Structures are given as structure tokens and as C-alpha cells.
Amino acid sequence: MVSILFLVVALFLLYAIIPSIAARWFGFGVFRKSRTRHEVAFTFDDGPDPIYTPQLLDLLKTYKIKAAFFVVGSKAERFPELILRMHQEGHLIGIHNYVHRSNWFLTPWTIRRHLDRSASFIENITGVRPVYYRPPWGLTNLFDFLLRQTFLIVLWSVMVGDWRSKGGSEAIKTRLLQKIQPGAVIVLHDSGETFGANRDAPLHTIQALDQVFPALLAKGYTCVRIDEMIPFQKPAIERKLSRKKRLLIYLWMQWEKAFHAVFHVRTIDRNNPFLNIRVCTYRGKTIQLTNGESIQKGDYVVELHFNNELLMQMATQARSSIHLAVQMIRATEQLLPQILEFIVHHPYRDKIKGLYGITMIYRGSRQLGFTVADLPKGLFSSCSKLYLRFLLYAVHPQGLQRLQTKTNLLIPKIIAISTNELMKRYPIDIQPKHSSQEMVFSSEHIFEGK
């Protein structure tokens, strides 16, 4: 009897206690704080809540702060409108399990099933599959570390017990201002329905933050999403390029420079040269956009081109293909308002129907408002496929292996968004253009070679 009890205790230590200590105390296999000097990240667990989450989102909007929400999957299914609002207002959405139960008492396959169900539901709403995960109470088990191929486990460095109402908002404010340091990841809660919490506790948290946010901003802190705090890391195995591949890449880049020169493809922002553009006449079949508009043959469009040299650098530094996709989405999102400003000041602004591009890396583009459509079969489609597959071989960290696996996913797609949808999603202050030198380049020099 004693030996059986000893075996049970030993297995529980191995399965639950030791992994949690390794993660919480030593940061093994998890992200819990950053080394940045002036940035902090606010994260919120246990929601969404129909009463307190909208109030919190209103407060974040007031101070123009982006946060991360680790949502309970079953609650997300009950309140999908709150998930959509989080996404539309620029917040990061992570997973806090499907139900709020400790991983100590769940089997690995149950956790995996709960995560996949939650992730799929959120992806159906937002178009983006979550890659960040925070286990309830921060308790991990031995097999959670195997999730790192799909999810990054995020814990915290600052916790102030805001799930209890004792002390009210003043106590929460005092603790936060005492504990927050550069690089901190702060865990708070926008729901009081979990075990051990007070139902009205989030109200005190929101009231405290209304005082904490201006105090932190006055001290020079910047509040960011956690994905902005996680730096690029070199892959475990440095990508070694053969002479043949280096020569192919060099020749490719020279061809690309010549193409840009001939067709007057230009960078929209020299400080963020991720996207190149040109205005041209659309020559393909009609594209039906999700907002009911369409781009038809003969319409003027802004054609999008990735900066493939920069993309190759990003791919080399990315930890995974998911991380690369996140970086691409962020870079594109930052440039869309500038592209809209370019359209507004273009001589043909009233004729430009929208943005258009062809790519195999379209994951997450729907969240930015793009329609993703199949490329019509034919010679152009076949050539585009060969072109983009070669490009993937050159720029992707596992280019050759990627080409040999999941070939059904390596199909070029059309991405497009109308000018009206851009204006709706990325409103800008339209100011008169005083001189052509205020833009990186003149609009007239980016239209079909003019």
C-alpha cells in the first residue's frame, strides 16, 4: 500500500509539480517577461465577460492601449461578438483552455482537444488562429512542453490578486505601481466567475487601471501586446546555404530589381520597406469581394509586391512559420494606412478600386480585411505556382522540406481589398498635399511606367 502511494506521489510530482516549478520559477519553455527598457504588457484572463469585458475594452480604447486576452473557449463560444471586437480593436487573442480547469488534472489529449476546439472557433471568427496559450493558474504538466510546436506558453511576471474584491481599486492600483518594472508581463482578470474569485472583482480592476494607465504613460512606459515584446530568435540550427542556393538567390534578386525598374514598382515607406506597390490596370477575371464589391477587368488597382529580400531575412530569423506569418501580418497592417493615403493623393484616386496581389503566404490576410480567392486555372496560374514555389524555396527557413510536404497548401491565391473597405478599416486624416517631396515618391511615377 505504501509503495503504491509512493508511486502515485512520484508520478504526480513528475507530471505536474516539477514542470510547473520549472516554468513558473525558472521560465523553462515559457515566456514570462521581457528585457525591454520601456515596455510593459497587460494581459487579461478568464473572459470574455458580457458585463466587464466591454467596459475594459472601452478603457483600453480611451488610452489607445493594446493588450492580450487569454479567453476561455466555452465563454468565447457564448460571446463571439466580444471576440470579434477584441480582434477588430487590435488586441491579441490567446487561449486559456476551453474550460477553466487545472492542467494538473487533465490528460494531455484532453488539453490538446480543448485547445484545438478553442483555436478553431476563434479562427472562424477572426481569421487568425491563436498561437499563444496560458494554462489556468499557470499550472503546467509534463506534456504541455510538447505543445511548443504549435503554441507559445505565456505566463507573467506581475500578479496582484485582482480576482478578489478585498481592498478595492486602491489596493490594486498600489500593488501594480509598486510591482511594474520594464519588461513586465502583467496578469489581470476581466471575469470573476472562476473558482475563488469574486463576481464584482473586475470592476475594481477596471477602476484601478483608469488611474494606473496615465501614471505609467507619464513615467515613459509604452504598453504593448506581448507578441511585440517577444524578440526575434535565431533558429536552433542556423540555416546554411549552399553555393548553388546563394547563387540562385543572388540572380533572383537581380531579376527582381530589374523587374521593379522596368515596371516602376516602388517602396511605399523607406522606413518599413516590406511592401512595394504600383498602380496598374487589372487584367484578370472578376474578383468578388466579401463586402459585396468587385474588382473587374479594366479597373485600376494598386498591385502589391513583397520585398523578398527583407522577407528572406525575416524568415531566417523567425522561430517558426507561424511566427513568420505573425510578423508579416503586423508589417502589412502598419503599411495599409500609408497605402490608403497614397491612393487618396493619387491623380486617379476616384478610379482606383482597391489593392490586389498574388501570394502563397496569405495566412491571416482575412483579419486585415482582404478577400482570399482562388487563382483561375490556366497558364498564368501554373507559371505563378512555379514562380512562388521557387521563391518559397529561397526565402523559407525550411524551403526544400516545405516544398516536399503539405503540397496541397502551396497554391497561390489572390488577395484583394477594396478602397472603400480600406477607408472603413484604416481611417486617416486627409490633409492637402503641399508638395511632391512630402511623399517618398511622386504618385505620377508609380503608374504603369509613367
Record the cell numbers describing residue 363, joined without a space.
495566412
Reply yes or no on whether 189 is catalytic.
Answer: yes
- What range defines the domain where residue 291 resides? 243-446
Domain closes at, from 174, 200, 229 = 229
> CA 446 to CA 375: how far, in whole Å?
25
3-state secondary structure of 385: helix
Kindly give, in sequence order, each residue whose CB lies less than 8 Å from that of residue 93, ignoring residues fewer than 6 positions away: 68, 69, 71, 83, 86, 87, 122, 126, 128, 130
Q: Tell me if 419 is assigned to some domain.
A: yes
Q: Tell me if 157 is assigned to some domain.
A: yes
Count of domains in the chain? 2
Task: Report which of 56, 46, 198, 75 is spatially closest to residue 135, judged by C-alpha positions.
Answer: 46
Whether residues 259 and 224 share a domain: the answer is: no
Q: Tell me if 235 is assigned to some domain.
A: no
Q: Tell me if 291 is assigned to some domain.
A: yes
Q: What angle do CA 145, 150, 154 make, to 5 degrees?
A: 60
Whether residues 114 and 191 share a domain: the answer is: yes
Contact in structure between 44 and 70 (CB atoms under 8 Å) = yes
According to DSSP H, which parts of 219-304 are helical? 226-229, 243-263
Q: What is the pLDDT of residue 262?
A: 85
Instruction: Determine which one of 45, 49, 190, 227 is catalytic.
Output: 45
Domain closes at, from 179, 202, 229 = 229
Q: Tell me if 261 is assigned to some domain.
A: yes
CA distances to 249, 337, 420 from 433, in Å: 39, 16, 21
Whether residues 111 and 251 share a domain: the answer is: no
Write the CATH number for 131: 3.20.20.370
Whether residues 171 and 294 share a domain: the answer is: no
Residue with cell 477588430: 88
Instruction: Determine which one of 100, 189, 323, 346 is catalytic.
Output: 189
Compute the radius of gyration of the chain from its Cα atoms.
Answer: 24
> CA 409 to CA 360: how far, in whole Å?
8
Whether residues 169 and 83 share a domain: the answer is: yes
Whether residues 220 and 265 share a domain: the answer is: no
> CA 82 to CA 123: how far, in whole Å?
14
Residues of 402-412 as b/e, b for ≥16 C-beta within 10 angstroms? beeeeeeeeeb
Give the end-to-end CA distance of the chain in Å, rounded to a whole number.
87
Task: Report which of 42, 376, 383, 368 is spatially closest to residue 217, judged by C-alpha positions.
Answer: 42
Q: Tell me if 163 is assigned to some domain.
A: yes
Q: Tell me if 399 is assigned to some domain.
A: yes
> CA 185 to CA 34: how far, in whole Å?
8
Whether residues 175 and 270 share a domain: the answer is: no
* CA dihedral sign, ordered 13, 19, 23, 28: positive
Instruction: Provide block-wise average pLDDT over 10 residues at a time, the chain (450 residues).
Output: 69 78 78 84 96 97 95 96 94 95 90 93 89 92 80 93 92 96 95 91 97 94 88 39 63 78 85 87 92 93 84 61 70 88 91 88 81 78 62 52 46 88 83 42 38
Whether residues 272 and 371 share a domain: the answer is: yes
- What DSSP designation does 427 have? -
Reply yes or no on whether 49 is catalytic.
Answer: no
Q: Tell me if 234 is assigned to some domain.
A: no
DSSP string, 228-246: HHS-----SSPPPPPHHHH
Whether residues 277 and 213 share a domain: the answer is: no
Whether residues 150 and 225 share a domain: the answer is: yes
Q: What is the pLDDT of residue 2?
A: 54
Kindly give, in sequence order, each residue whose CB lies less than 8 Å from that of residue 202, ignoring residues fewer than 6 positions away: 49, 51, 52, 55, 56, 162, 189, 190, 191, 192
Whether residues 154 and 19 share a domain: the answer is: yes
Whether residues 298 and 351 share a domain: the answer is: yes
Give this prediction's pTM. 0.57
> CA 11 to CA 252: how far, in whole Å?
56
Domain closes at, from 202, 229, 256 = 229
CA distances to 3, 101, 141, 257 from 8, in Å: 9, 21, 15, 65
> CA 121 to CA 115: how far, in whole Å?
10
Q: What are the percentages of helix, strand and coil residues in the chain, rounded to 5? A: 50, 15, 35
